[in-house]
């Protein structure tokens, strides 16, 4: 199977779905420019032009409102935001309208708005440009929220979203865009709510999404040198969440570490811990550990920022402590995104 970068996989899915369904259109700030949101919308604009790949004014709430209206009239909008932080400006349209539409109108149709938003870390982005809002949107019934970790899933989850009737948010980490992986040529959908075992192991389960899957892989490589076998569960989507896969893994290993790019309190890590406690508590040999950013906004200072974001080192230390039963130290690893050089 051929390989594509993460951004190429998204671009291909967009073009294929637009060719498959004339109702699909793309809208967002800068979707028609040369950079094309990290390259992801450029091919669509070149093929379908400005009537289906539409640049919009700087108003996230207005764009989301237009998308809900278009979806209610039978169109399939794909909205793209280069900064997930500003999705908070679109909360009313996405949460009060799109997510509740089918419930409010007796399941008579839906508003299949698909929103892509870029989340990330590093390069001094600061408190208002470095947030991962997955847990905010994952809280609300009626929305699907996914965080693809691989090029194949970036394509497959987008295809699934553009064919479904549920309003969907796809969160893409900036650090993944240049990563490569095998991707099918066909527009093969990846179902929401079905995670995958990214790596099999026996000693400890690490549950992660998006960039944290890759950090967990690096931690697992390091721990393998010390004879510790790590199983990694890539949840793919956080709503719906593959609770069965998570619980079956923890039942085998007896230990759980959850790694997330967002804060621990009221977040994905807390939800996974609660699911495990409710379903397989007796299988746990040690208390659940969460590896997340500290409970404060992201700093601009690069050294402080490096300490803020969760990394393979912290995941490895949590796993080692859980297996060995005491404080542990592991050698420092380079950050997964250390080689990233713009565009921002």
Does residue 221 carry a pLDDT above 90?
Answer: yes
Q: Which of 265, 261, 264, 196 is nearest to 231 (CA)?
A: 196
The larger pLDDT score, comparing residue 337 to residue 80, is at: 80
- Band (pLDDT 50/70/90 cuts) for residue 10 is very high
Other beta carbons within 10 angstroms of residue 57's beta carbon come to 8
Q: How far is CA 165 from the centre of its chain?
A: 20
**C-alpha distances in angstroms, 321 versus 238, 286, 288, 293, 310?**
27, 10, 11, 19, 16
pLDDT at 344: 42
**Alpha carbons 27 and 32: distance in angstroms, whole number:** 9
Does residue 343 carry a pLDDT above 50?
Answer: no
pLDDT at 92: 96
Look up tokens 């998308």; give the residue.
67
Q: What is the CA radius of gyration of the chain?
A: 20
pLDDT at 107: 84
Look up tokens 């009626």; give the residue.
142
Buried (b) or exposed (e) across 203-212, using 16+ Cβ within 10 A?
A: bbbbbbbbbb
**Alpha carbons 37 and 341: distance in angstroms, whole number:** 15
pLDDT in tens, 265-275: 999 999 999 99
Does residue 214 carry a pLDDT above 90?
Answer: yes
Q: How far is CA 140 from the centre of its chain?
A: 16
**Alpha carbons 317 and 327: distance in angstroms, whole number:** 8
pLDDT at 109: 79
Q: Which of 18-32, 39-53, 124-138, 147-161 has the lowest mean pLDDT?
A: 124-138
Please say whether the beta carbons of 148 and 173 come within 8 A.
Answer: no
- Band (pLDDT 50/70/90 cuts) for residue 13 is very high
Other beta carbons within 10 angstroms of residue 328's beta carbon come to 15
**Alpha carbons 215 and 200: distance in angstroms, whole number:** 15
Helix (H) or strand (E) holding 237: strand 237-239
Joined tokens for residue 86: 């500003």
| pTM (predicted TM-score) | 0.93
Does residue 339 carry a pLDDT above 80?
Answer: no
Does residue 336 carry a pLDDT above 60?
Answer: no
Name the residues annotated as catalytic. Answer: 129
The larger pLDDT score, comparing residue 119 to residue 250, is at: 250
Across the chain, mean pLDDT equals: 93
pLDDT at 122: 63
Helix (H) or strand (E) holding 220: helix 211-224
Map out the domains of the chain with their CATH numbers: 3-182 (3.40.50.970), 196-324 (3.40.50.920)
Other beta carbons within 10 angstroms of residue 240's beta carbon come to 17
Does residue 328 carry a pLDDT above 90?
Answer: no
pLDDT at 22: 98
Helix, strand, coil in percent for the chain, rounding step 5:
40, 15, 45
Beta strands in 121-203 (DSSP E): 144-146, 168-173, 180-182, 196-199
pLDDT in tens, 106-149: 888 789 999 999 987 766 778 888 889 999 999 999 999 999 99
**Alpha carbons 108 and 305: distance in angstroms, whole number:** 47
Q: How far is CA 46 from the centre of its chain?
A: 27
């Amino acid at each position: 199977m051929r390989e594509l970068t993460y951004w190429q996989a998204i671009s291909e899915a967009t073009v294929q779905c637009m060719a498959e369904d004339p109702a699909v259109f793309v809208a967002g700030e800068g979707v028609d420019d040369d950079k094309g949101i990290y390259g992801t919308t450029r091919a669509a604009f070149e093929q379908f032009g400005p009537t289906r790949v539409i640049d919009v004014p700087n108003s996230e709430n207005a764009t989301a409102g237009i998308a809900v209206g278009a979806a209610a009239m039978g169109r399939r909008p794909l909205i793209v935001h280069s900064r997930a932080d500003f999705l908070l400006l679109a909360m009313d349209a996405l949460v009060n309208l799109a997510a509740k539409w089918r419930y409010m109108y007796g399941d008579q149709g839906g508003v299949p708005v698909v929103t892509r938003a870029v989340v990330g870390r590093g390069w001094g982005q600061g408190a208002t440009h470095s947030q991962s809002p997955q847990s905010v949107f994952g809280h609300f019934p009626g929305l699907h929220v996914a965080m693809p970790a691989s090029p194949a899933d970036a394509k497959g989850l987008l295809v699934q979203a553009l064919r479904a009737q549920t309003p969907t948010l796809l969160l893409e980490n900036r650090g993944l865009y240049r990563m490569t992986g095998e991707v099918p040529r066909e527009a093969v959908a990846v179902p929401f709510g079905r995670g995958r075992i990214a790596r099999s192991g026996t000693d400890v389960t690490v549950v992660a999404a998006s960039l944290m899957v890759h950090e967990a892989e690096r931690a697992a490589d390091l721990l393998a040198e010390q004879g510790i076998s790590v199983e990694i569960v890539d949840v793919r989507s956080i709503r719906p969440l593959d609770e069965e896969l998570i619980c079956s893994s923890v039942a085998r290993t007896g230990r759980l570490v959850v790694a997330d790019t967002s804060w621990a309190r009221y977040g994905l890590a807390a939800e996974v811990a609660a699911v495990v406690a409710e379903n397989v508590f007796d299988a746990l040999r040690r208390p659940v550990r969460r590896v997340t950013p500290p409970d404060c906004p992201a700093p601009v200072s690069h050294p402080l920022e490096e300490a803020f974001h969760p990394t393979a080192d912290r995941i490895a230390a949590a796993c080692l402590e859980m297996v060995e039963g005491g404080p542990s130290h592991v050698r420092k690893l380079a950050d997964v995104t250390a080689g990233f050089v713009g565009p921002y």
